[in-house]
Amino acid sequence: MNIQHLNIQAKMAITLFLGFVIVATVSSVILLGLALTGEKSGLKIPTVGQISKKYGTSMLVGSMHGSMKEFVSALEDIEVVEQWVSEGAKQEHPLYKDVETIIRYDCRNCHSRTSTMTRAIRSMPFETYEDIVLYTEAGYSWKQMSKQAHIHMYGIASFLIFVTLLFAYTTYKEWVRSALIVLSFSAGFIDIFSWWFIKEIPALAYAIYGFGSVMVGSILLMSALILLDMWKLPRPLKE
């Protein structure tokens, strides 16, 4: 039994499913690139430094470098916030007054409990020092990481199992099938767990970059190979 023996309706269903997977994967890459680079359009490839800032620094600074970058009036303001955070994020710190001003002017219209703005984020107010300091811990907290990890891993596993099972029934060499299946799951696993520990080991930014790329690449490659194998023309008969 291999995938080439499926009837035409099954092949159509698989093709459409893989179309969704490919679009979703490419979309997730675009979204991640935009969020990490702070750009608004196009396919942007983030740098290792941007990845490191996203996962290794505080959510406050990481967001100012990434998804909230467009709302920062002057990029040098991010350095002020970054310095304040790296020096303990205390209210008594001489830079806190500047940080408060930056947040008041650039963030608080949306980040307030009573915001009426189109993109209001009332659940994440920055109105007081106590509000702000919640987002100054470096990297993901245990709570945030547990949340991120379970959502991502359940989500990725739920479609990856279908893709890998389909790939398992292609006619490619056994070692190719085994390698890609193991690679896709393990790359995802290492990528996500690197988020957790990057604040302790900054070099894990390379692991996030590398294994994230391997995971995405393997999903796209397996999808393409399944389609190719499933729909390939029958070989001509030999004399």
Partner 1 sequence: MKKISCVLASALLAGSALYGGTGLTLESAKVKGVASLDAGDAAWASAKPIQIVVDQLPYQSEKYTGIKNTTVKMQSVYDSEYVYFKIEYADPTKSLERYPWEKQPDGTWKQLKNPDQFGKENTYYEDRVAMYWDISARGFERRGCAVACHMAENGKINGVDAGKTAGRKFTRAEGQLIDMWHSKGVRTDSVGQVDDQFVNHVADPSVNRNWGRNGDERTGGGYKDNINKEKTAPMYISSKAQPDLFWIHDADKAPFVDTFKAGDRIPAMVVSPFEGSRGDISINSTWENGVWTYVMKRALVTKHPKSAEQDVQFSDLGKAYPFAVAVFDNSQINHVYHEGSISLTFK
Residue numbers at the binding site for partner 1 (CB under 8 A): 15, 18-19, 22-23, 25-27, 29-31, 34, 39-43, 70-74, 101, 104-106, 108-109, 112-119, 127, 224, 227-228, 231
Q: Which residues contact 200 (CB under 8 A, 6 or more apart)?
A: none
Q: Which is nearer to partner 1, 111 or 177 (CB)?
A: 111
- Please, what is the minimum distance in Å from the beta carbon of residue 41 to partner 1? 5
Q: Which is nearer to partner 1, 5 or 104 (CB)?
A: 104
- Please, what is the minimum distance in Å from the beta carbon of residue 102 to partner 1? 10
Helix intervals (H) in the chain: 8-37, 48-56, 59-65, 76-86, 96-106, 129-133, 142-168, 174-197, 204-231
- Please, what is the minimum distance in Å from the beta carbon of residue 108 to partner 1? 7
Give the residue carrying structure tokens 């009573």: 114
SS3 assignment, position 138: strand
- Please, what is the minimum distance in Å from the beta carbon of residue 125 to partner 1? 9
Q: Which is nearer to partner 1, 30 or 153 (CB)?
A: 30
What is the phi/psi pair of residue 138, to 5°?
-70, 140
